[in-house]
Amino acid sequence: MEFFPRLELGWVNGWIFLLIFFSIFGIFLLTCSKEVISRLYDETGWTKFQKIYTKLAKICGLIHSILVIITPLKIVSIEFIIGIIIFIFGNIGFIVALQNFKTAPLDKPISSGLYKVSRNPQMVFLFFVSIGNSILIGSWTAIFIVIFSVIFSHFRILGEEKRLTKQYGNTYLEFKKKVPRYFIFF
C-alpha cells in the first residue's frame, strides 16, 4: 500500500472494477419499477444541510472514482487478493440489500432481509465496495477519501431518519430501537 499511488492511464487499472460494479448496479436498476427507483432516490423533505452533505459525499465519490480509474492495479500483491475479496463481498451484499429494498412494500419501512440487521445495508456494502477498490489499487489516499465520503453520508442519513420518522411514525421508531443504523452497534 502506498500513500499516493503512481497514476497513469492503462488497460489494467481500477476502472475494470468500477465498470463491473456500475454494470451490475445498472442492470439491477433496469429490473426495478419507477416507484422503487423513485423511493431509492427520494429527497423529499431534505434540509439544506442534507443536500450539502450529499453533494460533498458525491464529490468525494467522484474524486475516488477518478483516482481508481487512473491507478494501475497491484495484481501481484496480497493487497489485490484482499481487495478482490472485499470488493466481491461488498457487491454481493449491495445487490442483496437492493433486492430487499426492491421487494419491500412501499407503504412501510423496509425491515426484511439485510434490513433486519442494518437500517442502511446499501451504504454499509457500498463502503465495502469502495474500500475493496481502494485496496485493489493499493492507495491509502483512496481509503481516506472513502472515509470522508462515509462521514458526509452519515449526516445525510441522520436527516433521512428524521424524514422516515415523520413518514412512518411509531412503526419506524420501533424499527430504530431494534435495528442498528449501520451494523451491530453503529
Cα(56)–Cα(113) distance, integer angstroms: 30
Direct distance between the N- and C-terminal alpha carbons of the chain, in angstroms, rounded to an integer: 28
Band of pLDDT at residue 109, cut at 50, 70 and 90: confident
Instruction: Let me know: does 29 contact 39? Beta carbons within 8 Å.
Output: no
- pLDDT on residue 166: 85
Q: Is the pLDDT of residue 178 over 70?
A: yes
Instruction: Let me know: does 138 contact 1? Beta carbons within 8 Å.
Output: yes
> What number is the average pLDDT over the span 71-92?
92
- pLDDT on residue 158: 84
Which residues have CB under 8 Å from 40's CB, separation 6+? 32, 101
pLDDT digits (tens, 9 = 90+) for 57-81: 999 999 999 999 999 888 888 999 9
Q: What is the mean pLDDT of the chain?
A: 88
> What number is the average pLDDT over the span 128-157?
92
Please count the other Cβ atoms lying within 10 Å of the Cβ belonging to residue 43: 12
Q: What's the predicted TM-score (pTM) here?
A: 0.88
Per-residue CA distances from 99 to 14, 21, 82, 104, 121 (Å): 26, 15, 26, 9, 11
